[in-house]
Amino acid sequence: MKKAPPHVSPLALELSKYIAGAIRKPLPRAVVERARVHIVDIFGAMISGSRLLPGTAAIKYVRTQGGKAECGVIGTRIVTSAVNAALANGMFGHADETDATHPPSLTHPETSVVPAALAIGERDRLSGQQVMRAIVLGYDICARLLLALRPMPFLRSGHHAGAFGQAFGAAAAAGALLKLDARRVRYLLTYTAEQAAGLYIMFRDPEHIEKAYGMGGMPAHNGTAAALMAEAGFTGVEDPFSGERDFFFTFAPEGDRDELVRGLGHDYEIMRGGIKRWPVGGPIQGPLHVLRELMAQHKFKAADVAELIARMPDKELEIVNNRDMPDISVQHLLAVMLLDGAVNFASAHDFKRMRDPRVLELRQRIRAVGDASLTDVERRWRCVMEIKLNDGRTLSHQTMAAKGSYENPLTPAEEEEKALDLIAPVLGAKRSRALLDALWQFDKLKDVRELRRLYSK
């Protein structure tokens, strides 16, 4: 029997072996179908994000970097190095709150994993099937890394969950596409661990540039870079997850290392992903879902509301409670929906509305209450709402799985509608539909670089 390398734990051996061989293993049909929806969704986020402030900042930066022409920058005609493209496309993906999430781990996996996979896929002219398989792998590694760290205590300690998990997910996707063997994968994991970073302070940036970097661009860039370092022959410690003062000792001494491999290859975490119905923060999906249904059923308007009480998971309320950014403030967005009858991309990102006297007055009648009984380990999008009307009626409604959650997923038609709303203003209706047609058949592409002529502008 072949002896294990010195100072390498069985866990690291299992994890690295899986990553090294993942793209050769077929995916279940249900996973392929879900992955297509996620790929369409993140392309919508990236293309729309390329025109927002974080996107224009990323474009300005990568234009100064030069680099070998390897991968396109989505929504532009720029072709740059793999790491620069991963950075820009990652920032585009989280330039606002339209991108999908993995609620149990507090991460946005494809926001960084897809840019990293595309960077290597375009560079090496790989097939859509290979790139999709790497994306699903990256999703798995991203989610498991955070589940091992225990996401909510990790977030409360001042770290940013997504920045950590997404870097490892991006690295795994890129490394698998580079066909690194198991030993090179372990070096990849070490160089990713060396770059692990991300602080909760990014939530305080009202312009979303730092958040787009920390939650999208930085993990995509760092994960891609770690994979390319391993490919280039960088060596080092073979196992960052065990031994003296290891990764978990540094960041989560009470973490559960076994989560890194638990169910790997059988339980696909993309199946627990949440794709947002509304272009706002994940925890707000439940309250908007319930309010929209109440308004549709009872036909009341903002002027009719005496008081609105939205009970939501207490840990989720911490993230969206009276924030300075419109797209992650639950009270603000509930007021906007009451006034407008809906929330769309434009209204969710309108900073001027946060100073609108009508919105401010209405917010005085809205209360968001954290309810521990609604909180569960999978961070489902939940809300129990009660509305008192001026005519004396009291209305109530609830959801335990808002639209877009994995128990209540968006249909392809609903995703198409959402994606067109995001893409068409940038690419135009005709090209947008051509791009979407290609993305719905992503795993059939012979060369993912074929997409460049469709997403360039």
Tens-place pLDDT, residues 98-109: 999 999 999 999
pTM above 0.85, yes or no: yes
Domain residue limits, the chain? 10-272, 282-399
**How far, in Å, are 258, 260, 274 from residue 11 at the CA level?**
7, 8, 28
Stretch 206-225: mean pLDDT: 95
Q: Is the pLDDT of residue 123 over 70?
A: yes
Q: Is the pLDDT of residue 299 over 90?
A: yes
Mean pLDDT value across the chain: 95
**130-133 long-range contacts, CB within 8 A, separation 24+:** 130/23, 130/177, 131/177, 131/442, 131/448, 132/27, 132/32, 132/35, 132/36, 132/39, 132/442, 132/443, 133/22, 133/23, 133/25, 133/27, 133/176
> Which pairing describes strands 305-313 and 366-371: parallel, antiparallel, or unpaired?
parallel
Q: Is the pLDDT of residue 1 over 60?
A: no
Q: Is the pLDDT of residue 3 over 80?
A: no
SS3 379: coil
The sheet with strand 366-371 has its strands ordered as: 366-371, 305-313, 383-389, 394-399
Residue 141 is predicted with a pLDDT of 98
CATH homologous superfamily of 282-399 equals: 2-methylcitrate dehydratase PrpD (3.30.1330.120)
User: Domain 10-272 - what CATH class?
Assistant: mainly alpha
Alpha carbons within 13 A on the beta-carbon side of 318: 11
